[in-house]
Structure 1
C-alpha cells in the first residue's frame, strides 16, 4: 500500500534549528530529534528554547539523508531534514511495528538519493489491511494495535526473565588497576583473550534468518541483521570493531551464539572465571581505551591489538603473581547491574 494511504500526513518537521545554536541552560526536558541512528534518533535532550516544541508526539520521524526511522511518543524539536508521518490511530503500541515495516524500505534511500517527501510518497509498504463496506482496502489499525500489544507484553515478560531478582548489593568493591595485554599469545605474553576474525559475507548474499549477524556498527550491540547462517562463535564472547561506521574500537558483549563479518575481531575469554558481569566491565574498558586511539586511517588490526594493553583490575594469586581480578569485576558488575535494574523495575511495575 502507498505510504500516502497509510498515513494522513507526511510533512517536513517544523521550525528546525541547528543543535550548535541551542540554548543549553535550564532543566533538560524536550527531545531533539536528529539524523542519528541511535538513541531513538535523539541528538540531545534540551531545556526550553523560548518556544514550545513545534512537533507534537505520536509521530514517526525519518531522517532524509540517513534513512533512520523512529517513533516519537512526545513533542520534540528537530534538526534539518527530518520528515514527520502522522495518523490519528498511530500510538506507542502500533507505532514501533510501522517503524520496522518502514525500515525495510529504507535501503533504497542512500546518500544522494535520500528519503525526500516526493520519494516517500511514491513508496509502498506491506501493512495489515481490511476491506470496508465499499470493497476498499484500509489499514487494519485495530489489528496492528492488537499485534503491538502482544509483542509489548512479550517484551515486558522477557525483561522480567533477564533481570536478576536477587541483586541486593549496593557497595562497590575497591579495585586495583594495572595494564594488561588484551590478547594472549602463548610463549610471548599473557593476555585476557584469544583473538579471532569474523568471516566476510556481503549484504547481497545474506538471507534473512534467526542468527545474530555482528558487523562494524556501534549501535544495536553491533548486530546489523538476523541471517540464515550458522553460528561462528558461541555466547559469552566479545566483539571488537576493526572497521566500521565510526565505531572502530567499540567492544560489545554477545549473550547468544552469533556470526560476525570480517569487520569484527572476536575475543574468546581464556578463562572460565570471565563471568557476564565481568565481561560487561571489560567491554567498557576496551571501548574507552581503544576508541580514542584507533579510527579511519589507523585501524584496529589484529597486529595492533596484539600490542595493545588496557588498564584492568588485578589481584595477587597464591604464588605472588599479579593476575586479572575476575572475582572483583564480577562483584563490581553485579552492583552496577543492580543499580541499573532498580529504576527499570519501577518503570515496568507502573505498566498496567
Structure 2
C-alpha cells in the first residue's frame, strides 16, 4: 500500500458536540471526590484532571458506592478547567468535572488522530469564566478528513495512525538494535563479588554551590539547561532555565536530595550539565558512568526513610551515610562490576522490548 499523507483526502469542519456534532458529550457518570473513594488497590482507572499518565491518578477496586456508576471505555475524556484530553480504552471512574465524548466509530487509532486537534482547540479555554463548559465544547469545531459523502473519514484516520505507529516502531527497533550491540560486549556472565560498606563521603567528592530559586531565573526555555530540585520525578528536573556559569554543575554526577517533602533522601544521576536548587548536594567520582550510577542510586535511595523534617539530610549527615557496594580485590568500590551488572539487566530488557515490537510491526 502506498504511503498515506494528510493531503490525500479532503477536509472540513465539524462541531465537536450538539445536534450536528461528532460526539455525544456527557458529564461522567461517577464524579467521585477522592476522599469518598474506596481506594483499595484494583484494576479500574480513576481519572482526574491531571495532565499526567493519561489522566490516571490511581487504580481502584470496582467495589464503589452504588450511587457512582462506572463509565464505559472506548471514549475520549476532557478535564474541565485543565483542558486535558485523553483516550480511555477501558471502563473507569473519575473525579469531578470530567466530560466524556462518545462516538461509535471511535477506536484507539481514530482517537489518537483526533486528540491533537482537540488539544489545540482546548487552548482557547482557561480557568474561571472561560472554562470548557458543555455549551462551549458543543460550539467548538474540528477540522477532519472526509470521505466521498462529506462525512468523517474514519478509516483514513485509523490507517494513517497505524502507518505512523509502524514508522515509529521501526525507529525504536533501530535504536534498540544499536543499544543491543553496545551492551552485549563483554557482558556474558557475572561472577560473585564481595560486598563492603563505604561512607558516601569517601566514595564521592560532595559539592554544594550557591543557588537561585527557580522563580529567580528565566524558566520554561526550550533551549535552556535543566534545573534540578527536590523531586523524585522527571529525573529531578523541575524546569529548563537560562544558563548561569557560576551556578553550573558539570554532568556525570549524582545529585543527592537533602530536603523536600516526599523526595528527601532520593538521588538521581545527571549525565548532562545542570543547575540545582539549594536542596541538592552533587557527588563526583572519576569512575562514575550512567550504568554504575544507576546501581549506586538504587542502593542510596534505601536511606530515604530515616529522614524527616525534624531530622534533615544536611551536608555532614550525607557524608556519613553508608553504602553497601561490591568491592574489588583492593577493597575499593567495584565500579566495573556495577556497570556490567546494570548492562546485563538492560540487555535482558532490550531483548524483551525488541521481541514485543517485532511482533507488533509484523501484524
| Superposition TM-score tier, normalisation by shorter sequence | 0.5 to 0.7
More helix by share: 2
* SS class of match (1:21): coil
Match of 1:324 in 2: 333
Bigger Rg over Cα:
2
Secondary structure of 1:300 counterpart = coil
Q: Indicate if the aligned counterparts of 1:60 and 1:95 stay in contact, CA closer than 8 A.
A: no
CA–CA distance in 2 between the matches of 1:120 and 1:269?
57
Matched, 1:180 2:203: no
The aligned runs of 1:182-201 (5 Å cut-off) are 182=200, 184=201, 190-197=202-209, 199-201=212-214
Q: In the TM superposition, what whole-angstrom CA distance separates every residue of 1:230-273 from its partner, at most 9, and x where no partner exists?
A: 68334432233344452222222233x243341552534312x2
- Number of residue pairs matched? 320
Task: Tell me which residue corresponds to 2:73.
Answer: 56
Cα distance between partner residues in 2 of 1:263 and 1:105: 37
1:69-148 matches, within 5 Å, as 69=84, 71-81=86-96, 83-84=98-99, 86=101, 91=110, 93-94=112-113, 97=116, 118=133
RMSD of aligned Cα (Å): 5.0
CA distance in 1, matches of 2:129, 2:234: 23
Residues 195, 29 of structure 1: alpha-carbon distance in 2 compared, 3 angstrom cutoff: same
Distance, in Å, in 2 between the alignment partners of 1:269 and 1:102 is 47
The structure 1 residue matched to 2:38, chosen from 18, 21, 28, is 21
* Gap change, CA 1:147 and 1:22, over 3 Å in 2: closer
Consecutive unaligned residues in structure 1, runs of 5 or more: 133-141, 185-189
1:345 aligns with 2:354: yes
Distance 2:253 2:124 in 1: 33
Identify if the C-alpha distance between structure 1 residues 331 and 74 changes in structure 2 by more than 3 Å, giving closer, same or farther. Answer: same
Q: CA deviation digits over 1:15-53, x for unaligned, max 9?
A: 3556962566xxx65434357776444344457659995
How far apart are 1:4 and its partner, in Å?
A: 7.2
Structure 2 residues not aligned, in runs of 5+: 1-14, 147-155
1:249 has 2:268 as partner: no
- Assess, with a 3 A threshold, how the Cα gap between structure 1 residues 160 and 287 changes in structure 2: closer, same or farther: farther
Per the alignment, do residues 235 and 48 of structure 1 end up closer, same or farther by CA in structure 2, a change over 3 Å counting? Answer: same
Q: CA shift at 1:336, angstroms?
A: 1.7
Structure 2 partner of 1:226? 240
Mapped partners of 1:62, 1:334: distance in 2: 41
Change (3 A) 1:326 1:154: same
TM-score, length-scaled by structure 1: 0.66
Q: What's the offset of the Cα at 1:324?
A: 0.9
Within 2, Cα distance between the matches of 1:174 and 1:35? 49
| Residue aligning to 1:281 | 295
Cross-structure match for 1:187: none
The 5 Å alignment of 1:28-47 reads 29-33=43-47, 39-45=53-59
How far the C-alpha of 1:227 sits from its partner, in A, is: 3.8
Q: Is the contact between residue 208 and residue 281 of structure 2 (CA under 8 Å) also seen in structure 1?
A: yes
Query: Quick one: distance in 2 between partners of 1:340 and 1:251?
Result: 23
Match of 1:240 in 2: 256
Alpha-carbon deviations, 1:190-223, whole Å to 9, x = none?
A: 2234333454331773242223523333222222
